[in-house]
Amino acid sequence: MKVAILAGGKGSRFAEETVYRPKPMIEIGGKPILWHIMMHYYTFGYSDFAVALGYKGSVIKRWFLDMAMLDGDLRVSTRSGEVKRRPLSVPDWGVDLVETGAETNTGGRIKALKDTIGNQRFMLTWGDGLSNVNLDALLAFHKGHGKLATVTVVRPPARFGHVRLDSTQVIDFTEKPYASEGWINGAFFVLEPEVFEFIDGPDTLFEKEPLQRLAREGQLMAYQHAGFWQCMDTLNDKQKLEALWESGNAPWVTWDNGTWTYSSPAIAAI
């Protein structure tokens, strides 16, 4: 099953970083947030990705090329120009990098992936949000209800501390807890290929008419995730995620100790 990731937005609320690179390339712990998202899927067995490019898409292409070509040990023959490599730490991914237009909206980007994904069920998420959602349970939920679409809904972190009162006495104080009421769109979708037909064209915002129509027709179900979820919209969000990573207990890390390494005895020609 392919995993589609939308990575083409301009990230205008994060201009201090996105003037140089697209938001999915902003780093947490020395790796782009896109890498963290893909690693989460990879640890659940997903290795086939379709990344929808737009704003500064060449930066994402260059990063994947560098990761594939420069990781690990190299043997260079200076006379023939032959280069052989022994990869040391790159996961085994297949990645389709699809240009979907700098001004295309989210629905249009998804529609542009139709030929790449084909007539099959697929997963979809945004390129700027991290979670520890159980993808096995998410897929089982989707298969169980038989509808066209599943969206993971989450309770976002509250912006302010929560104070519970008895008259004027504080009986409970929690600094910026997760919201106790209300669910929001956390991405991490599972979609059937028929969903493409709900998207009109490049200007379509997936979060509006397509999802609204799916809901009206009884084809959209919500997988409730009460665990960790955090989007990265601002520098403050990035700093929070960086602090979690540096703590050694980043909640979204579903691989071993925040690292992924393997050894290959062979040196293969590029």
Per-residue pLDDT of the chain (270 residues; tens, 9 = 90+): 999 999 998 877 777 777 888 999 999 999 999 999 999 999 999 999 999 999 999 999 999 999 888 878 888 999 999 988 876 778 889 999 999 999 999 999 999 999 999 999 999 999 999 999 999 999 999 999 999 999 999 987 666 555 566 664 555 666 555 555 578 999 999 999 999 999 999 999 999 999 999 999 999 999 999 999 999 988 899 999 999 999 988 999 988 644 444 333 344 444
Domain ranges of the chain: 2-157+183-269
State the alpha helices, DSSP H only, in the chain. 15-18, 33-43, 57-70, 106-112, 114-117, 135-145, 209-216, 235-247
pLDDT at 259: 47
pLDDT at 100: 96
pLDDT at 167: 61
10 Å CB burial of residue 147 (0-12, 13-18, 19+) is middle
CA-to-CA separations, 256 to 52, 174, 185, 249, 260, in angstroms, rounded = 28, 31, 28, 11, 7
pLDDT at 180: 54
pTM as predicted = 0.86
CA-to-CA separations, 10 to 13, 15, 99, 104, 164, in angstroms, rounded = 9, 9, 14, 10, 39
CA dihedral 37, 40, 43, 49 (to 10 degrees): -30
Q: Is domain 2-157+183-269 given the CATH code 3.30.300.30 in the classification?
A: no
* Rounded Cα gap, residues 63 and 195, in angstroms: 31
pLDDT at 270: 47
pLDDT at 10: 82
